[in-house]
Structure 1
Amino acid sequence: MSKLISTLAALLALSALAGCATPSAPLSSAAVAPYQAAIELNGRLSVNYSKDGKRETLSGKFNWLQTANRTDVSLASPLGSTIATITVAPGYASLTEAGKAPRVADDIDSLSAQTLGWTLPVSGLRDWLQGHATAADGSRFAASPAHSSVTTRDGWRLDYVSWQDEGAAVPRPRRIDLARGAVGGLEDMQIRIVIDAPAAP
């Protein structure tokens, strides 16, 4: 009996300690900085998708440069060798794989799907890399650590998983997970983006 009483006393003591534990601080509701038309940053990405019943995975680095009317993206292998360069302007998109002639189309989504085998949503990323998006209902979304997920008007699910400095007055995204269901021959798709150099203030 004394052993049972000792055990119960120990359990009650643990429960009391748990009840006194300091609760974790609430996530910051501070929103990201206002959208900037011109930014430059670099980072890493991994892509996971299914096509024709086969699972494909790849990873690499990227450099991103955008102005008000143009976006230039360079994709590289994990070791730094250039895989492809992309240029997007109103009504025009080009994609050049290493050692090959450029390919041109009206939009980058279809061009990247045809050339790379997976879709790089450049037009959306102009907003998303900065923590902004157009939600499924057409409203504008600005991410914060406390409000970090949205489904976009074109069907991408965005999750802002981590931040350059979560406690900053103006947080900036560090890791963004993108996911979309079956579209255009791709059964499903996930892209993980880690930003190493944030957009300039």
Structure 2
Amino acid sequence: MPIIHRLSLFVLAAALAGCASTATQSTGAPGVQAAATPYRDTVELTGRLQVTYQKDGQPGSMNGGFEWAQRPGQIDVAFLSPLKQTVATISVTPQQATLTEAGRAPRSAGDIDALTRQALGWSLPVSGLRDWLQGYATDAAGKRFAATPGNNSVFTQDGWRLRFVSWQNGQNGAQMPKNIVAERSATATSDELAIQIILDPAA
């Protein structure tokens, strides 16, 4: 069974809707400009994501848990079932991206966009997520954007609208994203896509 069909069976909508914690802070509060957590090249994060997309004019969706492990030169992503079993993994290096599904031979491609578009029907924006998960982005003018609870929305250089909807306490009391929404309109080369990410409390 293709990964997109398996992952679409994940019953995580309730978790996505109700995962706010006492450490979460809503965005847009007047005068709130808490310091963002400094960017780290090595980081491990867990959470849930919900993807809705258009593929060849047809709507699709996916829900699931994930584990994100990032270090210089490599990113590893695991997609999880509701029982925390690994359904698939993605490994990305500067040379190639590899997708491994349970019971199937690994598939590789020169870049993650091509690989996930082929396998999932939508492109996982790993290069963007590397920044987004920590509250950073490259804006439409090519400048570094650091989100805060009081400055929480940006259009990126590669066509995404990001909203850092809520926040949680990170290391040393700094703020890190809790709920991120990334949306991209359809273009001549890409389909409409929206990704909601709910990050677990920082360890």
TM class, shorter-chain normalised? Answer: 0.7 to 0.9
1:138: which partner in 2?
142
1:181: which partner in 2?
185
For structure 2, the 5+ residue unaligned runs are 1-27
Residues 101-159 of structure 1: CA distance to partner in whole angstroms, max 9, x if unpaired?
A: 11111110111011111111111111110001111100000000110011111111110
Task: Please identify the structure whose Cα radius of gyration is greater.
Answer: 1
CA positional deviation for 1:84 = 1.4
1:153: which partner in 2?
157
1:84/1:98 contact within 8 Å kept: yes
Aligned residues: 175
CA positional deviation for 1:52 = 2.1
1:195: which partner in 2?
199
Letter aligned with residue 180 of structure 1: R
TM-score (norm 1): 0.80
Aligned-residue Cα RMSD (Å) equals: 2.1
CA positional deviation for 1:100 = 0.9
Query: Residue 187 of structure 1 aligns to a residue in which SS?
Result: coil
1:31/1:143 contact within 8 Å kept: no
1:72/1:87 contact within 8 Å kept: yes
Out of 58, 61, 64, the position equivalent to 1:57 is 61
User: Does 1:84 find its partner at 2:88?
Assistant: yes
User: Does 1:35 find its partner at 2:39?
Assistant: yes
Q: Distance in 1 between matches of 2:187 and 2:65?
A: 25
Q: Distance in 1 between matches of 2:125 and 2:60?
A: 18
Residues 6-59 of structure 1: CA distance to partner in whole angstroms, max 9, x if unpaired?
A: xxxxxxxxxxxxxxxxxx962411231221000001000000011122211110
For structure 1, the 5+ residue unaligned runs are 1-23
1:50/1:186 contact within 8 Å kept: no
Q: Distance in 1 between matches of 2:116 and 2:194?
A: 15
Q: Distance in 2 between matches of 1:99 and 1:44?
A: 23
1:44/1:60 contact within 8 Å kept: yes
Q: Distance in 1 between matches of 2:190 and 2:159?
A: 14
Q: Distance in 2 between matches of 1:185 and 1:142?
A: 28
Identity %: 51
CA positional deviation for 1:183 = 4.5
